[in-house]
Amino acid sequence: MAAIYRREVKSFLNSMTGYLFIAFILVVTGIYFTAYHLRGGYPLFSYTLEAIVVIFLIAVPVLTMRILAEERRQKTDQLLLTSPVSISGIVIGKYLALVTVLLIPTLVMAVYPLVLTQFGSVSLPESYTALAGLFLLACSFLAIGLYLSSTTENQVIAAVLTFLVLFVCYIMNGIANFFPETASASFYALAAAAAAAAFLLYYMTAHLMIAAAGFLLAEGALTALFFLRPSVYEGLIQKILGIFAITDRFSEFTNGIFDLSGVIYYLSIIVFCLFLTVQSIQKRRWS
Amino acid sequence: MIEVEHLTKRYGNHLAVDDLSFTVGEGQIYGFLGPNGAGKSTTMNIMTGYIAPTSGEVRISGHNILDEPEAARKSIGYLPEIPPLYPDMTVKEYLVFAAGLKKIPRRDTQSMIAELMETTGITDMQNRLIRNLSKGYRQRTGLAQALLGYPPVIILDEPMVGLDPRQIIEIRDLIRGLGRKHTVILSSHILSEISAVCDHIMIISHGKLVASDTPENLPLLMAGTNTLQLTVRTKEQTLRSILNGQDKILSYTLEPSAENGAWDAVIRTETQTDLREALFFDCAKQNAAILNMQLSKMSLEDIFLELTGDEETQTEEGGDDNGSNLPQRS
C-alpha cells in the first residue's frame, strides 16, 4: 500500500496532471478571492469556496481518469494484482495519493483567510469550517472518480463518466424539483424504477422466473403501501434524489456550521465508492 | 510446490483451459509448450491469481491462490506476456517500487536490485525512462522484476521474446541456474527454447494437457512410427511389388518423383524395425536403382506438431491466449 501511494504521488508530481489540477484550482480560487474579498471587501471566505465547487467538477475527472484505467490499459495491473498486496490495499493507496494531491491546493487556500485578517475582522473558525467542508466534498468527488476509473480501460471514457456523474449530483436538487411532490408522482416513479430493476435483474441473471417474481413482489408491495399509507409517498422522490445531491450538504459548512451528519454523509460516500472500486476489480477477475 | 487440480476457465462459450491438472516439484524447470491460443497464458494468469478459474484449484507451497492470496503470491515471481512496466518511471525507480510491492526489507532492496540489474544486464539503463527502452531491455526489466526477492516459484510467460541471440543464451543460463534452487515454469511456442532448458515439458493444446514428460521420454510416449523415404528409379509396378513383398511395412504412399523416371515412396513402419537393408537387396535383385533412402525418427518437433495438429479452431482462438483480453461482460 505504501509503495503504491508513493508511486502515485510521485507520478502526479512528475507529470503535468498533478500540477494542472493544483494550478487550475488555485488560479480560479485566486480570481474569485481577488474579486470578492480584495476588491469587493467581503469578509466571508465561504463565498469564494462556494463559487469554486463547479471547478472541481472539471478538475477532479482530470486527476482521477487515469488512476485505474491506465493500469488496465498498460496491463500493469498484472503486477499489482499478482503481488502480495490486497486489492483494498491497492485501492486505498491510490485513493490516499489522490487526497494528498488535493491537500496541496487546500493548504494554500488555508492561507487566504489569514490574508483577510490584515484588512479587518474575519471569523477564522467559520472560514476553516467551510474549507474543511470543501475538502470533504472534493474527497468524495475523488472517490467517485476513482470508482469510475476502475470500470473502464479508457481514460477519456472515465473522465467523461466522472464529469457526468458529478454534474448530475451537482444539479440533483433542480432535477428533484421537476417532480411534483404528490404521493402519486412518487408512486409512479418508484414503480417505473422497480420495473427497470427487474429488467436489469433479468438481463444479468437470465432467469425469467426470478426477475418476474421480483417484479411482481416489488410492484405489489409498492401498490399495497400506496393504498394503505399514501402519506409515505409524499415528497418521497425528493428525499431519495436528495441523497445524491452531494454538493447540497456543503451549504451547511459554508454557513459556518460544522455539520457532523454532513461529515458522516461524505465519509460514507467515500467508503461506499472505495468498496465499489474493490468489487469492480474483483469482478473483472472472475468474468 | 505447485499443485494444479482440474483447472477450467471458460470465457462465455469458449473453453480456454479444459480440466488441467499437474504438479510441479521443487527445484525443477517446467516448460509449457503449445501453439498460440493454447491456453498457456491463461493458465499462468490463473496460477498467479491474476484471474480466477471457472472451477478447479491452484496451490502454491500449500497455499490456495484464492483463499490465501497474499501468502501464495508472496512465493511467486511473475513475468506476464507483456511486461507490466510503467513508462513514466526509470528502470531503477520501477524496481524499487516492485520491491516495495513484494515487501522486501528496505535494507536489502538496494543491493538486491543492483545484483539483479547486473544479472539481467540492465545496469547501464538504470536511469533511463522505461518509455525510451527497446523491447529487449523492457523484457529484461520485467524479468528482473520477476526475480526480485528470489521467490521460490518463478513463472515466466515467454521470457525469450524480443531478446537477441546472445541475450537468449545468457537468460537461458540464468534460468538454468535458478532451477537449482527455485521452481521455474516458463512458456513458449518455440520448441528449441523449451527443450534447451526444461527438465520437463508439458504440451498444451486447446487448453488440454496432451503430453507431459521429460524431453528424452517424450518421443517414447508416442506409439510412434518411423518413416522411410525412398526414391527408386524403376517402374511403378516393380516398386509396388517390392514394397508389397515386405510384410513389416504398415503403409506406404507412392508418387512420381521430381527425378526423371523415378518414384518416391514414403513408408511407415514400427519404431523398432529398420527395413533399409532388406529394401536395398530387394531393389538390387529387381535392378531398381535406389537414388535416395532416408530413415527419419520422430523428433520432438514432429511430436509437437502431431499433438497440437488439428488446426481448424486455432485461428479464432488466437486472441484468447492472453488472459487480459477478457470480454467486457461474461
How many structural domains is chain A composed of?
2
Amino acid A137: pLDDT:
95
Amino acid B171: pLDDT:
84
Per the structure, the complete domain to which residue B165 belongs is given by 2-220
Do B127 and B96 contact (CB within 8 A), yes or no? no
Record: contact A84-B80, CB cut-off 8 A: no
How confident is the prediction along chain B (330 residues), in pLDDT tens digits per residue? 789 999 999 888 888 888 888 888 888 899 988 888 888 899 999 999 999 999 999 999 889 988 888 889 999 999 999 999 999 999 999 999 999 999 999 898 999 999 999 988 899 999 999 999 988 899 999 999 999 988 999 999 988 887 888 888 888 888 888 888 888 999 988 877 888 888 888 888 888 888 888 877 776 665 566 778 888 988 888 888 888 888 888 788 888 888 788 888 888 877 777 788 888 998 888 888 898 888 776 666 667 777 776 544 433 333 344 433 434 443
Do A247 and A170 contact (CB within 8 A), yes or no? yes
Residue B72 C-alpha, separation from nearest chain A C-alpha, in angstroms? 8
Q: Are residues B130 and B23 in the same domain?
A: yes
**Beta-carbon contacts of residue B255 (< 8 Å; ≥ 6 apart):** B263, B264
Q: Are residues A10 and A152 in the same domain?
A: yes
Q: Are residues A30 and A125 in the same domain?
A: yes
Q: Are residues B135 and B237 in the same domain?
A: no
Q: Are residues A28 and A114 in the same domain?
A: yes
Amino acid B322: pLDDT:
41
Amino acid B325: pLDDT:
40
* Closest to B25 measured CA to CA, from B73, B57, B61, B54: B61
Record: contact A84-B327, CB cut-off 8 A: no
Q: Are residues B29 and B146 in the same domain?
A: yes
Mutate to test the interface with A, among B13, B45, B50 (most CBs of A within 10 A): B50
Q: Are residues B278 and B211 in the same domain?
A: no
Tens-place pLDDT, residues A10-33: 999 988 899 999 999 999 999 999
Q: Name which of A69-83, A118-132, A194-208 the model is least confident about.
A: A194-208
Q: Are residues A156 and A251 in the same domain?
A: yes
Q: Which of B162 and A70 is assigned the larger pLDDT?
A: A70
Question: Where do we find the cell 494531491?
Answer: A101
The enclosing domain of B250 has a CATH number of 3.30.70.260
State the Cα–Cα distance between residues B250 and A191, nearest whole angstrom.
76
Record: contact B101-A85, CB cut-off 8 A: yes
A7 touches chain B (CB under 8 A): yes
For every residue of chain A, DSSP letters joined together read -HHHHHHHHHHHHHSHHHHHHHHHHHHHHHHHHIIIIIIT----THHHHHHHHHHHHHHHHHHHTHHHHHHHHHTTHHHHHTSS--HHHHHHHHHHHHHHHHHHHHHHHTTHHHHHHTTS---HHHHHHHHHHHHHHHHHHHHHHHHHHHT-S-HHHHHHHHHHHHHHHHTHHHHHHHS--SHHHHHHHHHHHHHHHHHHHHHHH--HHHHHHHHHHHHHHHHHHHHH-GGGGTTHHHHHHHHT-GGGGHHHHHTT---HHHHHHHHHHHHHHHHHHHHHHHHHHH-
Q: Which residues of B touch A15 (CB under 8 A)?
A: 88
A245 touches chain B (CB under 8 A): no
Q: Are residues A199 and A164 in the same domain?
A: no
The region, left, alpha or beta by phi > 0 then psi within -120 to 50, assigned to residue A199 is: alpha
Let me know if residue B121 belongs to a domain: yes
Amino acid B320: pLDDT:
40
A279 touches chain B (CB under 8 A): no
Torsion of CA A82, A84, A89, A93, to 10 degrees: -80
Name the strand (E) or helix (H) holding B5: strand B2-11
ipTM of the complex: 0.86
Q: Are residues B53 and B66 in the same domain?
A: yes
Is the torsion defined by CA of A7, A9, A14, A16 positive or negative? positive
Cell of A51: 463559487
The enclosing domain of B93 has a CATH number of 3.40.50.300
Q: Are residues B275 and B206 in the same domain?
A: no
**Beta-carbon contacts of residue A10 (< 8 Å; ≥ 6 apart):** B93
CA angle A229, A231, A232 (to 5 degrees): 80
Per the structure, the complete domain to which residue A190 belongs is given by 182-234
Q: Are residues A94 and A199 in the same domain?
A: no
Q: Are residues A155 and A92 in the same domain?
A: yes
Cα distances (Å, whole numbers) of residue A102 to A12, B83, B107: 11, 32, 32
Q: Are residues B181 and B261 in the same domain?
A: no
Q: Are residues B150 and B260 in the same domain?
A: no
**Beta-carbon contacts of residue A222 (< 8 Å; ≥ 6 apart):** A187, A190, A191, A194
Cell of A127: 472560514
How many structural domains is chain B composed of?
2
Q: Are residues A140 and A197 in the same domain?
A: no
Q: Are residues B13 and B152 in the same domain?
A: yes
Amino acid B327: pLDDT:
40
Q: Are residues A50 and A163 in the same domain?
A: yes
Q: Are residues B171 and B280 in the same domain?
A: no
Q: Which residues of A touch B144 (CB under 8 A)?
A: none
CA angle B88, B90, B91 (to 5 degrees): 125
Record: contact B45-A78, CB cut-off 8 A: yes
Q: Are residues B212 and B238 in the same domain?
A: no
Q: Are residues B121 and B162 in the same domain?
A: yes
Let me know if residue B161 belongs to a domain: yes
Amino acid B299: pLDDT:
64
Size of chain B, expressed as the number of residues it contains: 330
